Chains A and B, each alone.
Chain A
Amino acid sequence: MASRLSFSNRAGWLMALPGFGLIALFVILPFVLAFVLSFTNQRLVSPNPTEWVGLSNYQSLLGLGVLHLEPERDEAGQVVTDENGAPEYPRLRSYTRNNPDYPHLQGKSEWFSFDWGNGRTYVLASDVVFMKAIVNTLIFVAVVAPVQAGLALVLALLINQRLRGINIFRTVYFMPVVVSIVVVSLLWRFIYAEDGLLNNLLSGLTFGAFDGPDWLGNPRTALGAIIGMSIWQAVGFHMVIWLSGLQTISPTLYEAGAIEGASRWQTFRYITWPGLRNTAVLILIVITMQAFALFAQIDVMTKGGPLDSTQTIVFQAVQRGYGKQDISSGATISVFLFVLVLSISLLQRWLTRERR
């Protein structure tokens, strides 16, 4: 091929420059800026000059502390209990507010606590809401990535049959993908309402025995409801990618399998699945990247509530960077998210590497 290429610096740069220049300005520059800004106190608009603040953005975002407390005892050495018989502990405030013996706990508040030995261990965080956002995002990714990839494969296998009218089904399954997630989120607010379609359907199917919750208003069901809807919307996308993977598998392999008398499961296990290996890795990584970006569903459906049960990393980045115009804090979250996405993709790539 090399001989056919004409060496032409001027034309080459001239033709590549519009595209590369735009990417440099609108992708690479903001990407680098995110790192730089995370060490400053930059705001969108501010009368004061921007200053370097070192790691303080990271500390106030990710700071964690552990405190182990023994129950309070009276003069006789007996554990003081409240009216329910539970031991009483000293107030956390006395450790986190201006306590010279515990400078590392200054300004932190309780994230969660558990009983340990004779006392109680408290995990404290500088930013409890952000900790919840991290956990919610990780739960979302951990459920959505395998479930969506698996369902998409099932759909692809369903659609890959030779049946009259199969294209109609494929068209319908793919339909939600072209509809905006904003529109979908609004529609599903009806479905998830306390007297909404889902509860009416469930109560109809169980002859009134099932009395469903307000799915999005209940901290225990809100994140699950958003997970369900997100899978519904995006699964068609990955069905199509699986389908294109399925169609690269040579039909002669299936013929050979049929001659050998392979069962359906054996055909899938030894012919289909090995042929889908690369597709599987790609789909897993793509879904993971998309899942980490969870934002529109939250913004339209719950705004992070109830009780922060649907806070996510990107929602927090937007709330701070745009809502409070605190660019440096938003940039710090962006850097954190990028490092998280990158390390999980690399881990996935490493775990799914071909072992020879």
Chain B
Amino acid sequence: MAAIDPSNRGLRLFARYAVLTLVAVIFAFPLVFMLVSSLKPDDQLLRDTASLRAFLPVGDLSLRNYYAAFDRAPVGTFILNSVFVTGVTVALSLFVCSLAGFAFVFLRWTGRDLVLSVILATLIVPFETIAIPLLLVVSKLPWIGAEGLTLGWLNTYRVQIVPFIADGLTIFLFVQYFKDLPGDLIEAARVEGASNWQIYRRIVMPLSGPILATAAILKFLVMYNQYLWPLMVVQEEGRRPVMVGLQYFFQLNRAWGEIMAYLSLITVPVLAFYLYLQRAFIASIASTGVKG
């Protein structure tokens, strides 16, 4: 493979792009199929799967499936529930976990190292192994609200939010990031008499843009795509999120066009968000690969 013959080079470049494109087709085609099918009536949709027409926006195209999906299930409620639960969890998680990260990196207190190692140890506990006992815990937890003291968190928003606010990975990411911040800056602020809260609020947080974005994106993906947990703890229609709402489309007469419309509705915003912020998305996944 010494000197490259120029006539060969064009060919090799072509081959490289051909391979890259073929792989891209494999990754894109189910999503293209989803979007295209959501515009087709059921009989055409099923007929088209026999040919390449499955991936082409041809034939009788309309938004009818989308209207029908809204008629069949409280789609708007599901979407609002998901947006609310995801948004609140992300915001609280950023605050609680960054605060803890601050305490672990910039403050010295009795028990600090022990608490941190306990939190890091939870990283090896997959959620699926605690889901069932957690179900028992939340079914017994008390809450003081408008109706006074109540027992049990099932069928609420808080059961979808509170257990996911703090997690080992997010705290770990903040700790790693804070360790690399210039310590002199914090020291200088302390000398000038700034309180811990002021240092957190005025110095550390403004420097934490990248890690806040990373933590927010990771939490967003987890929360928006929640399935197992809401399936178990929310039976009430008015509180269910989008992924669980899918069940409504499998009752009685199954309409594939409506299913495709619903899938598109709940997926396209995430895809658009990803395409818009793709560098940040990819960087946040890459950061979970920091050797822990």
Contact = CB atoms under 8 A, between A and B. Distances in A.
Interface of A: 1-2, 4-9, 11-16, 18-23, 25-31, 33-34, 37, 42, 44-45, 155, 158, 161, 163, 166, 169-184, 186-188, 190-191, 193, 195-197, 200, 232, 236-237, 240-241, 243-245, 263-264, 278-279, 282-283, 289, 292-293, 295-296, 299, 314, 317-318, 321-322, 327, 330-331, 333-335, 337-338, 341-342, 345
A28 B118 contact: yes
Interface residues of B, number: 94
Nearest to B29: A197
Interface stretch (B61-69, B96-104, B143-151, B207-215): B96-104
Interface of B: 1, 13, 16-17, 19-21, 23-24, 26-28, 30-31, 33-34, 49-51, 54, 96-97, 99-100, 102-104, 106-112, 115, 118-119, 122, 124-137, 139, 162-168, 171, 183, 186-187, 190, 196, 200, 221, 224-225, 227-228, 231-232, 243, 246, 256, 259, 263, 266-267, 270-271, 274-275, 278, 281-282, 285-286, 288-289, 291-292
7 contacts: A20-B100, A27-B125, A155-B23, A175-B31, A179-B271, A293-B126, A321-B135
A317 B232 CA distance: 12
Given A179-B31, A314-B128, A200 B50 contact: yes
A237 B246 contact: no
A15 B100 contact: yes
Contact of A15 (B21, B27, B107, B259): B107
B196 A15 contact: yes
Q: Is the interface of A mostly helix, strand, loop or mixed?
A: helix
Contact of B23 (A12, A158, A245, A289): A158
A125 B47 CA distance: 46
B126 A341 contact: yes
A334 B130 contact: yes
Contact of B285 (A20, A42, A241, A296): A241
A180 B227 CA distance: 9
A285 to B, nearest CB: 9
A155 B175 CA distance: 31
